[in-house]
């Protein structure tokens, strides 16, 4: 199943803002198989863009890998006359494979993720018993630290370390847009879970508060939408909307949120792809090397996630 693209209307002249508060063009691609959002964020003046959280298609039933989602993004980039300056992951995903390595091979653009990925690599290397798996972040071209600033064409992009869902989660703030990955979903969807290895509900609360401290009109782009009540997919909200109406956060104290999050997480089964996906995403989206018969294999540890709820 291919990703479903969506776009935003161009702003009118009265929406024009200064370069310091630029309003980048954002194109979203919704992957219905994983309910994931992938983004192209572009500088309107230079045509430079970044691809955020791209999906490599994987069918767990047959073990087949495909690039339909990533190719759809590349087609948009070409049709829009954009140049890919960055391929960015917000965190090591547990519910889909990253297409970062594939897109780097196609575009030559550098890949990046947060510097805390090294701690996640070390943690999961033990879980998989893969001593040869690098735990130094070398699978990416750039490791961002908290507060680091980089550029997408003329746009200023800032990195916020946003742990809680994972140790390595980061938010990209690009002009008036923030790509908030799996911290906040749409207001009716609440917030992300915090029970993966290295996750922490209290740290997730602190990360959410940091995001909600951005200007009220900051556009927030989420990493997933699970379509509560069967509604159509949505992915954009504002800080003001989240602060007033998020189903898990609005009106709660830190203690209330942490208690709620822990109780809820105890009832959630693990994502179906967590064990296949993590060993790919810890390599920056690279599949395991072929074995002596030319075939690649994924390694599934038994009872590696004790206490996880069953479906």
Which of these, 37, 26, 117, lies nearest to 69 by C-alpha position? 37
Q: Measuring CA to CA, which residue among 206, 196, 156 is closest to residue 305? A: 196
- pLDDT for 266 equals 95
Domains of the chain: 24-226+233-281 (3.60.15.10)
Question: How is the chain split among helix, strand and coil, in percent rounded to 5?
Answer: 25, 25, 50
Could you list the pLDDT tens digit for every one of the 311 residues in the chain?
444 455 443 333 333 334 445 899 999 999 999 999 999 999 999 999 999 999 999 999 999 999 999 999 999 999 999 999 999 999 999 999 999 999 999 999 999 999 999 999 999 999 999 998 889 999 999 999 999 999 999 999 999 999 999 999 999 999 999 999 999 999 999 999 999 999 999 999 999 999 999 999 999 999 999 999 999 999 999 999 999 999 999 999 999 999 999 999 999 999 999 999 999 999 999 999 999 999 999 999 999 998 889 98
Q: What pLDDT score was predicted for residue 4? A: 47
pLDDT at 156: 97
- Taking phi first (over 0 means left), then psi (-120 to 50 degrees means alpha), and beta for anything else, what does residue 131 get? alpha
Using alpha carbons, list the distances in angstroms from residue 131 to 8, 45, 125: 45, 46, 6
pLDDT reported for residue 307 = 86
Long-range contacts of residues 63-72, Cβ cutoff 8 Å, at least 24 apart: 63/298, 65/97, 65/287, 67/99, 67/102, 68/1, 68/2, 68/3, 69/2, 69/3, 69/29, 69/31, 69/38, 69/99, 70/99, 70/102, 70/103, 70/106, 72/2, 72/3, 72/5, 72/29
pLDDT in the model for residue 218 = 98
Residue 1: Cβ within 10 Å count: 10
The DSSP output letter for 37 is: E
């Amino acid at each position: 199943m291919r990703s479903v693209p969506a776009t935003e209307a161009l702003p009118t002249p009265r929406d024009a803002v200064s370069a310091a508060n630029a309003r980048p063009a954002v194109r979203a691609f919704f992957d219905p198989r994983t309910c994931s959002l992938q983004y192209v964020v572009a500088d309107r003046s230079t045509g430079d863009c970044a691809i955020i959280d791209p999906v490599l298609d994987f069918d767990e039933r047959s073990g087949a890998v495909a690039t339909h989602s990533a190719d759809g993004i590349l087609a948009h980039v070409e049709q829009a006359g954009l140049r890919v300056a960055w391929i960015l992951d917000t965190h090591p995903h547990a519910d889909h494979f990253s297409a970062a390595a594939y897109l780097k091979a196609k575009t030559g653009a550098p890949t990046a993720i947060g510097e805390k990925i090294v701690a996640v690599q070390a943690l999961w290397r033990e879980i998989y018993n893969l001593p040869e798996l690098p735990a130094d972040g070398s699978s990416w071209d750039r490791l961002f630290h908290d507060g680091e600033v980089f550029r997408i064409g003329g746009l200023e992009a800032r990195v916020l370390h946003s742990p809680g869902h994972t140790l390595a989660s980061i938010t990209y703030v690009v002009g008036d847009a923030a790509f908030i990955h799996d911290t906040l979903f749409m207001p009716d969807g609440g917030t992300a879970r915090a029970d993966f290895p290295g996750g922490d509900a209290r740290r997730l609360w602190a990360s959410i508060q940091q995001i909600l401290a951005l200007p009220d009109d900051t556009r927030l782009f989420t990493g997933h939408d699970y379509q509560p009540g069967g509604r159509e997919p949505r992915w954009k909200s504002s800080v003001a909307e989240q602060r007033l109406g998020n189903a898990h956060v609005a009106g709660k104290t830190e203690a209330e949120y942490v208690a709620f999050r822990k109780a809820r997480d105890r009832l959630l089964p693990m994502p179906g792809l967590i064990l296949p996906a993590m060993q790919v995403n810890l390599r920056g989206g690279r599949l395991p090397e072929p074995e002596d018969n030319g075939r690649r294999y994924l390694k599934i540890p038994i009872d590696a996630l004790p206490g996880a709820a069953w479906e």
